[in-house]
Amino acid sequence: MDDAVRRTPSRCVVSGTAPSGARVEMPSALRLPMTFDTLGLNEAILKSVLDAGYETPTDVQAQTIPAAMTGTDLRVCSNTGSGKTAAFVLPALERVLAARQDPTKRRAKGQVHGPRVLILAPTRELALQVSKAAMTYGRHIAGLRVATVVGGVPYGAQLAALRGQLDLLIATPGRLIDHLESGKAILSQVELLVLDEADRMLDMGFIEDIERIAEALPVSRQTIMVSATFAGQVGRLADQILKDDAQRIEVANHTDSHENIEQQLLWADDLDHKAALLENLLTSTDLQQAVIFTSTQRDADELAAHLYDIGHSVAPLHGGMPQGRRNRTLMALRRGELRILVATDVAARGIDVPTISHVINFGLPMKAEDYVHRIGRTGRAGRSGRAITLAERRDVSMIRRIQQFTTQPIPVGTVAGLEPTRPAPELFTRPPRRDGGP
């Protein structure tokens, strides 16, 4: 492996990588504002993009779509809510259409044909979200076959889908491995592999599953890896499964200021004070829909039950709930039948509901990067949002870690009548004074 490629910086960079591994600037055409019809997409795809009401491609789409359509491998560093799903789903659909025009790729009727595109996602919610996007963007493609293979649901329907002729397969790694081992998933015709939220998949311990799946695919395939970071293990996986001339695309990273999300930190004296602050926030008239994050599944259940008792339209969402109930809860949120969701980190990843106006951290995340994913549930699709963190003194070290990770302080606020009685803790360590004073 080329040294220059091995020394991938942990921060992503806005540029391409020449075959030698040297960094080159993206052609300026890829950086200029453009319209979807300049991206070279097929009419059927353009039509669905227009139906979706998109006027211009987002940054990640403007950079990724033309690059992906050249067939090159990509490492795409993109933040949540940036439009990254369409950035890889649209080129994936292009590939399906191109294969249909290619006489050498014609498929015999009545035979099982594996997918041309395989998309791996870390959670069931995200996989279902990607499937929905594929159906939306592929709605004018006649006979498009999309299958979703995720854990927590019965095998029967998945097996039936895998027995057909597939265009796109969207899967979580664990369940796909089950189907691979039983010989039911055929991956020998995959032309494009997409790893969505690769950093999260590794956090969730899917590294070996991903390596096994990658081994089952043709080496000639194209691979697109999308991740919020390419630091550490994610960077190593990228070196391992992407070709040496993979192009790098960066749109945003965790040090971005999230300008459309107004962040605030409210200090609470104790749990009762925190609950009073929460109840006050929930009465706010500008709160359309909110996701409240807790640290544990039990806290999510208990808080949702309490809020329900005091008259809120609320439901919990966490990994301990059966998949059917999770789906129904998300559907109710999307339809606006539910105003408040009380969720844990894993379950909430991938939630894409533009009407979520507020994210409230009632329990802090275990990892600083989850803070960024949490706040990204609001301020989606160009809207603005509020992200409010309720913290007690014992949370100081986690708040410090979040601020270090994002490289920004979270502005401290108060709620009139509910101010903390104790002074706010010091969050940034000042350099020691030369005279040894305090």
In the complex, the residues that contact ligand AMP under the rule CB under 6 A are 54, 57-58, 61, 81-86, 352, 354, 380-381
d(CA 387, CA 393): 19
> Which one, 52 or 305, has the nearer CB to ligand AMP?
52
Any residues with CB less than 8 A from the CB of 437 and at least 6 apart, and which?
none
Q: Please, what is the minimum distance in Å from the beta carbon of residue 68 to ligand AMP?
A: 14
Q: Please, what is the minimum distance in Å from the beta carbon of residue 60 to ligand AMP?
A: 8
> Which one, 84 or 254, has the nearer CB to ligand AMP?
84
> Which one, 192 or 307, has the nearer CB to ligand AMP?
192
> Which one, 355 or 403, has the nearer CB to ligand AMP?
355
Q: Please, what is the minimum distance in Å from the beta carbon of residue 134 to ligand AMP?
A: 12
Phi/psi of residue 17, nearest 5 degrees:
-120, 125
Q: Please, what is the minimum distance in Å from the beta carbon of residue 360 to ligand AMP?
A: 21
> Which one, 54 or 405, has the nearer CB to ligand AMP?
54
> Which one, 174 or 354, has the nearer CB to ligand AMP?
354
Q: Please, what is the minimum distance in Å from the beta carbon of residue 113 to ligand AMP?
A: 28
Q: Please, what is the minimum distance in Å from the beta carbon of residue 123 to ligand AMP?
A: 13
Q: Please, what is the minimum distance in Å from the beta carbon of residue 302 to ligand AMP?
A: 30
Q: Please, what is the minimum distance in Å from the beta carbon of residue 84 to ligand AMP?
A: 5
Q: Please, what is the minimum distance in Å from the beta carbon of residue 131 to ligand AMP?
A: 13
Name the β-bridge partners of 224: 74, 194
Any residues with CB less than 8 A from the CB of 339 and at least 6 apart, and which?
287, 288, 289, 290, 312, 313, 314
Full 3-state SS string of the chain: CCHHHHCCCCCCCCCEECCCCCEECCCHHHCCCCCHHHCCCCHHHHHHHHHCCCCCCCHHHHHHHHHHHCCCCEEEECCCCCCHHHHHHHHHHHHHHHHHHCHHHCCCCCCCECCCEEEECCCHHHHHHHHHHHHHHCCCCCCCCEEEECCCCCHHHHHHHHCCECCEEEECHHHHHHHHHCCCCCCCCCCEEEECCHHHHHHCCCHHHHHHHHHCCCCCCEEEEEECCCCHHHHHHHHHHCCCCCEEEECCCCCCCCCCEEEEEEECCCHHHHHHHHHHHHCCCCCCEEEEECCCHHHHHHHHHHHHHCCCCEEEECCCCCHHHHHHHHHHHHCCCCCEEEECHHHHCCCCCCCEEEEEECCCCCCHHHHHHHHCCCCCCCCCEEEEEEECHHHHHHHHHHHHHHCCCCCEECCCCCCCCCCCCCCCCCCCCCCCCC
> Which one, 57 or 235, has the nearer CB to ligand AMP?
57
Q: Please, what is the minimum distance in Å from the beta carbon of residue 37 to ligand AMP?
A: 13
> Which one, 51 or 211, has the nearer CB to ligand AMP?
51
> Which one, 140 or 212, has the nearer CB to ligand AMP?
140
> Which one, 80 or 297, has the nearer CB to ligand AMP?
80
